[in-house]
Every structure is written in C-alpha cells, then in structure tokens.
C-alpha cells in the first residue's frame, strides 16, 4: 500500500515533454554504420536517443571496468571504503597482462591512485587488486558484479572477470553498458577520475609512472569526461563515452568498430546528434530533499525524503510546452530501523495522466530503533495530547 502525499500532488511544471519512447518510434538517424552495436541515452531519464543492435550480446573488453568502478564507488558512498585506504597488490593481481600500471606484488596504493589506474590507464592489475580487496577474491567480486547487473534488471550481461580480458561466457550489450554507466554517473566524483587526460602514479618515487587517458575524446571533444575504452581482437574497438553540455548529459556506446579512429568518429557523431536535437530540463539534483515524513518506533520521529538520482525531463528542441505534474508516493507506515539510502517511495513525473518517469525516493538519514524510554514517552504524549 502506498500513501499519496497531497502536498506534492499536481505541482505544475512549465516544461516541454514528449511521450516516452517516442524518439525510438521516429526514423533512426544515420549513425554508427561501421559498428556492430551502438546506443545513445540521456543520463537522467534513460531515454534512448539512438540505437543499433543495442541488445546484441558482445564481448565488452575493458568497458567491463565500468561495472568494477561502479562497485568501488558504491563502497565509497556506503562508507566501507575510503579514497585514502591502502590497497595491497597480490601476486595474482600483479600477474595480469594487457593494459597495466605494472603493480608489484606487495605494492600498496591508495584507492584514489587505483581508481586513476583503472579509469585513465585501464589497468588490469589495478582492477584485480581492487576486486580482491572488495570481494576477498576476484571470483567473489565477479559474483558481486553479476548480482549488481541483475539488480539493475540487465538480462544480457554476464561477467567472468573484473577487467575485461578475453574469457568464455563474458559478454554484455550496448544497452546494458549504458544502464551500468547511468548508475555509475550517480556518483559525481567518478568523472574526476575518468575525466583526467594525463597524470602520474608514484609521483614522489623513482618509479614515477605517466598516465595518459585511453579515451582521447576527453581532450578533443568539449564536455567529454569519461567513461571507458576497450579493445581486444574479439571485441574490436569499443568506447562508452559520456559528455555534458547545458545541463544535458548523454551516454554513448560503440561496440565492434574496426579502428580507434572510426570508433572516436562515430561516438563524436552520436554526441553531436544528441546535443543538436534534444534538450534536458533539470528538475532536481541527486539527494534533493522533497519532504519530511513520519517514522514510527524510531529514535527520530521523522526523516527527510530525497531523490536517489537526478530528475529531468527530456524534449526535442523546439517542441511546444505542455503542463507536467509531479506526484510523490511514500510507503505507508515507515518504521525503524531505516538506513540512509533505503528506498521509501517513488517520485512520478506525469503528463496528461501518463507516467513519463519514475525515480526512487530514499531515506535521507539513518533511523535506529527507539529506546524503551523514548517509546514510553511517545505513549505518554499521545495520552497527554502533546
């Protein structure tokens, strides 16, 4: 059962809007001709702006690391990991081939430096070191990756490792990668790493290591600040890119391009198309407090309810303006214990009775079980009318 909060019923937003999935029904733009698969989505709404074979299962190569980075950022957000934590490199992690930052067995780096190694240099060794730290073993971390994919509702993804090195039964799709990237970009700090073009590891040592981003668009396309390239002979040249202009962030994925030049050119065309044809109207940022709601049997009587991610409306440029309403529904009879970030309801953006988007609402604070004394005082207050 849900209880509709009347205080946020029928708030009129003067915004332009198009029916969901309306863009997919239009004639496709002539894009990504030299790629096996491609997609462009708007980040906040998840609206598909262009797609080609976007549900085909293909090897993702190092774009696998987008999921690895997502689990790292979640752990930081939850407080179980910090940027200053030292991560020790195992013999197994140091043995990884392909792209690497040449970690030595027993070498320690901070999470900050490990993230730089993964995001900028696509370090396979750093990815495994982080996976082993968070999961105990890489195998356990891979289980976490696949569990997260299921949690996101992704049906065409299966990971076998944390770094994307070739492995049987290791696959995903352009659509699934876009959805994983959408989730990762909730954590705004990530672009502080993926948006780096060049930096150094071991800055104050004799083994100073120069990092140069494998995603050249970070330097050459204004607004690009991520996310991850990929290449194996099987996967060919791949890239998941994100760019932001004028409050609009898009995510573009290319899989199976024949050359890095062609990969970058096709991503550039998709980004140009998106920014020239569409517009995002920002309603709320992530963690925006929408209301205070009552909680029973807790050490607090009420908690803030806030957005779990950015909330926007996407339109085509030049469309007419229609009235849009928002409606918030909160789970009935919230009671302790609640942890900050626990889902407590949903924000609906609607037009003419049609739901345009649904955004999970979460608890903005922790609520512990009330002590017997607080419960006793609550009972007394009811009798006294206070």
End-to-end CA distance of the chain: 29
Are 212 and 348 contained in the same domain?
no
37 has catalytic annotation: no
Q: Per the structure, how many domains does the chain have?
A: 2
Give the single-character DSSP code of 186: T
Task: Tell whether 186 and 321 lie within a shared domain.
Answer: no
pTM of the model: 0.84
Whether residue 273 sits in one domain with residue 344: no
Q: Is the pLDDT of residue 6 over 50?
A: no
* Residue 127 appears among annotated catalytic residues: no
Domain harbouring 240, CATH code: 3.40.710.10
For residue 18, being part of any structural domain is answered with no
Indicate left, alpha or beta for 247 from its phi (over 0: left) and psi (-120 to 50: alpha): left
Q: What is the pLDDT of residues 218-265, one digit of tens each?
A: 999 999 999 999 999 999 999 999 999 998 999 999 999 999 999 999
**Rounded-to-integer distance, Cα 249 and Cα 244, Å:** 4
Rounded-to-5 percentages of helix, strand, coil across the chain: 30, 35, 35
**Residues 132, 247 share a domain:** yes
* Averaged pLDDT for residues 21-40: 76
Pair 53, 164 in one domain: yes
Whether the CA torsion 166, 167, 168, 172 is positive or negative: it is negative
Kindly report, residue by residue over 331-346, the tens digit of the pLDDT: 888 888 888 889 999 9
Residue 8: what pLDDT? 38
**Which of helix, strand or coil describes residue 299?**
coil
8 Å CB contact between 237 and 257: yes
Classify burial at 365, counting beta carbons within 10 Å of its beta carbon; exposed 0-12, middle 13-18, buried 19 or more: middle
* Residues 60-80 pLDDT 10s: 999 999 999 999 999 999 999
Residue 381 confidence (pLDDT): 57
Residue 294 domain flag: yes
Which of 37, 52, 65, 127 is catalytic? The answer is 65
Q: Considering the domain boundaries, does residue 318 fall inside one?
A: yes
Within-domain flag for 4: no
Query: Quick check: 29 and 20 in contact, CB under 8 A?
Result: no
What pLDDT score was predicted for residue 79? 95
Does residue 323 share a domain with residue 223? no
Within this chain, do residues 221 and 103 fall inside the same structural domain, yes or no?
Answer: yes
Q: Is the same domain home to 236 and 367?
A: no
Residue 296 annotated as catalytic: no
**Of 229, 253, 278, the domain-final residue:** 278
Residues in the chain: 386
Reduce the secondary structure of 7-65 to three states and give it as a string.
Answer: HHCCEEEEEECCCCCHHHHCCCCCCCCCCCEEEEEECCCCCEEEEECCCCCECCHHHHH
- Report how far residue 145's alpha carbon sits from residue 154's, in angstroms, rounded to the nearest whole number: 11
Alpha-carbon torsion 30, 276, 286, 352, what sign? negative
Catalytic residue among 62, 99, 127, 252: 62
- Out of 243, 278, 313, pick the residue that ends a domain: 278
* Rg, C-alpha atoms of the chain: 23
Residues 257 and 311 reside in one and the same domain: no
Which stretch, 125-139, 279-293, 305-319, has highest mean pLDDT?
Answer: 125-139
Would you say residue 298 lies in a domain? yes
Residues of the domain holding 180: 37-278
Tokens of 326: 């928002």
Q: Is 186 annotated as a binding residue?
A: no
355 in the same domain as 211: no
63 lies in the same domain as 45: yes
Determine the pLDDT at residue 323.
Answer: 77
Query: Active site residue: 122, 252, 312, 357, which one?
Result: 122
| Mean pLDDT calculated for residue range 137-151 | 98
105 and 223 share one domain: yes
The pLDDT mean for the chain works out to 88
Token pair recorded at residue 200: 């150094």
Query: Residue 353 pLDDT > 50, yes or no?
Result: yes
Average pLDDT over residues 199-214: 91
pLDDT at 367: 85
pLDDT at 383: 55
Q: At what angle do helices 65-78 and 111-119 cross, to 10 degrees?
A: 160
Among the three residues 232, 254, 278, which one is the final residue of a domain in this structure?
A: 278
Note the pLDDT tens digit of each residue in 264-298.
999 999 999 999 999 988 889 999 999 998 888 77
């Amino acid at each position: 059962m849900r209880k509709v909060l009347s205080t946020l019923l029928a708030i009129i937003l003067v915004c332009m809007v198009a029916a969901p999935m309306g863009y997919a029904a239009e004639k496709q733009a002539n894009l990504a001709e030299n790629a096996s698969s491609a997609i462009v989505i708007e980040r906040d709404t998840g609206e598909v702006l262009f797609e080609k074979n976007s549900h085909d299962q293909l090897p993702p190569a190092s774009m696998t690391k987008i999921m690895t980075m997502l689990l790292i950022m979640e752990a930081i957000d939850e407080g179980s990991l910090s940027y200053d934590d030292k991560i020790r490199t195992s013999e197994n992690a140091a043995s990884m081939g392909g792209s690497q930052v040449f970690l030595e067995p027993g070498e320690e780096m901070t999470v900050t430096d490990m993230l730089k190694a993964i995001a900028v240099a696509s370090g396979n060794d750093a990815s495994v070191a982080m996976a082993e730290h968070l999961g105990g073993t890489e195998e356990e971390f891979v289980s976490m990756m696949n569990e997260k994919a299921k949690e996101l509702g992704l049906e065409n993804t299966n990971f076998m490792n944390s770094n994307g090195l070739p492995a049987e039964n290791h696959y995903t799709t352009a659509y699934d990668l876009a959805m994983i990237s959408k989730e990762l970009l909730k954590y705004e700090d990530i672009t502080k790493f993926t948006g780096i073009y060049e930096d150094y590891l071991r800055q104050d040592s004799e083994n100073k290591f120069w990092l140069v981003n494998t995603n050249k668009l970070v330097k050459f396309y204004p607004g690009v600040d991520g996310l991850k390239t990929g290449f194996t002979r099987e996967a060919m040249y791949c890239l998941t890119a994100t760019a932001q202009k004028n409050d609009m962030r898009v995510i573009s994925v290319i899989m199976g391009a024949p050359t890095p030049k062609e990969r970058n050119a096709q991503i550039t065309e998709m980004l140009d198309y998106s920014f020239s044809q569409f517009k995002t109207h920002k309603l709320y940022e992530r963690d925006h407090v929408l209301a205070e709601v009552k909680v029973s049997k807790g050490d607090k009587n009420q908690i803030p309810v806030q957005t779990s991610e950015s909330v926007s409306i996407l339109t085509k440029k030049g469309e007419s303006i229609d009235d849009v309403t928002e409606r918030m529904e909160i789970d009935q009879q919230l009671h302790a214990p609640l942890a900050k970030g626990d889902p407590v309801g949903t924000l609906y953006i609607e037009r003419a009775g049609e739901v345009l988007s649904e955004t999970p609402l979460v608890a903005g604070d922790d609520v512990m079980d009330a002590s017997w004394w607080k419960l006793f005082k609550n009972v007394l207050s009811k009798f006294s009318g206070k």
